[in-house]
Amino acid sequence: MKYYLAVDGGGSKTLALITNDSLEILSLGNSGPSNYQSVGIEEAIKNIEDAILKAKKSINFNYVFTSACFSLAGINSGVDYKRMLKRIAEKHYASKIKIVHDGEAALHATTLGKKGIIVILGTGSLVAGYDEKGNYYRICDWGHILGDEGSAYRISIKVLSLILKGYDGRIPMPIIGYEIAKLIKIKSFDEIASYVYTDWKVKDIAKLASFIIGRAEKDRQIYEILREEADEISEGVKVISEKTKSKDVYLTGGIVNTIKNKIYIDLIKEMITSKLPDAKIKIVKMSSLLGAVVIAYKMDELNFDEKSLKLLKRNYRDFQKGLSIISWYH
C-alpha cells in the first residue's frame, strides 16, 4: 500500500489530506493560515506541520509518504519557492516532495493539467491558466499589499477607506459607514484604522466582503467599487487568454460559491464577456487540496484521468459527510 500527502495552505486555513493508492480518503487535518506572505514563514511552517500532525494522529499513521504535494498561497517568485521548499524538505515528510502555487493546484483539479483558465476569488484573488503545452501562467496574485484585485480583501479595504474619507470630511459619510460601524460594534469611525493596522488579520478584513456586496444593489458607491474590481478581473482573464489561447473560463472560490454574492459574480461575467465575447464561463466548486492530491499521484507516475478525478471527488464528499455526522453526534 502506498500513501500520499496533499497540503493546501492559504490565507485563512491549512488542510492536510492523507490518501492511498486506491484513492481512499484516510484522514484530514486542519490548522491556521500558511500563506507566509501574510503570517510569516515561521507561522506558516508551524501551521503546515500542525495540520499534518493532526491528520496523522487521527489514524495513528506512522509511514513515510510516497509523495507529497504542497499547494501554497504566497508562492509568488523563485525566492518564495526556495524558502518554503527548504523548510518543508527538512521535515522529511515524503520520498518525493513538490511545492506548487495554490492556483496551479486548483487549475489541476479543474482541467487535470489541460488548457483552460481559472479565476479564484476568495480572501485573495488569482487568474491563471495552462496552454496546450502545459505551461502555467498567472496574474493578480501578488498578495494583499501589491495585488489581489477583485478579492474579498480588496473590496473590504476599498470600502473601509471610503468610510474613513467620510469620517475626515473629504466626502459625505456613505451609508455603508453606519452599517459597518454597527456590524463591527465601534463607537467612533477612527477605530477602523486601529483594527486594520493592529487587531485584524487579512482574513478578518476579507470577512466583511459578503456583507458589503449584499448592499450593492441599493448603494451606488458600493456598486461602482464592485464594478471596478470586476473590471480588474476581466482584464486579467483577457491577458491569460492571450497567453494560453483558451477561452474556457472557470470561476471558483469563496466569493463565487456564495449565493448572496450573485450581483458581483454577474458583474464579473459581464465584464469578461465584454472583453472576450466567445468566452465559455462556468462556475465550479474547485478544491486546490484535491488538485494537490492529483499532482502527488502524478509524481508517482500513476495514471490519473477524468474517471479517477470523479472517484476522488466522490470519496472526498463522502469523507466530509462522515466528519459532519461525527461532529453532529459529539
- 271-312 pLDDT, tens digit each: 999 999 999 999 887 788 999 999 999 888 777 788 888 888
Q: Has residue 87 been placed in a domain? A: yes
Q: Has residue 256 been placed in a domain? A: no
- Does residue 217 register a pLDDT over 80? yes
Q: Has residue 273 been placed in a domain? A: no
Strands 136-139 and 25-31 come out as: unpaired
Read off the CATH number of the domain in which 40 is found: 3.30.420.40
Q: Has residue 106 been placed in a domain? A: yes
**Half-sphere exposure of 208 toward its Cβ, with a 13 Å CA cutoff?**
26
- Does residue 229 register a pLDDT over 70? yes
Look at the chain and report how many structural domains it folds into. 1
Distances 86 to 32, 41, 79, 90 between C-alpha atoms, Å: 21, 11, 11, 6
Q: Has residue 294 been placed in a domain? A: yes
Mean pLDDT, rounded, for 96-108: 88
What is the predicted pLDDT for the residue at 138?
85
Q: Has residue 13 been placed in a domain? A: yes
Q: Has residue 239 been placed in a domain? A: no
Q: Has residue 21 been placed in a domain? A: yes
Burial class (CB in 10 A: 0-12, 13-18, 19+), 302: middle
Residue 19 domain boundaries: 3-112+286-329
Cα 125 from Cα 123, distance rounded (Å): 7
Q: Which amino acid is at 89?
A: A
The grid coordinates of residue 99 equal: 511545492
Cα 300 from Cα 302, distance rounded (Å): 6
What is the predicted pLDDT for the residue at 324?
54
What is the model's pTM? 0.79
Q: What are the backbone dihedrals phi and psi of residue 85, each rounded to the nearest 5 degrees, phi first?
A: -60, -45
Residue 15: which H helix or E strand, with range? Answer: strand 14-20
Residue 141: CB atoms within 10 Å: 25
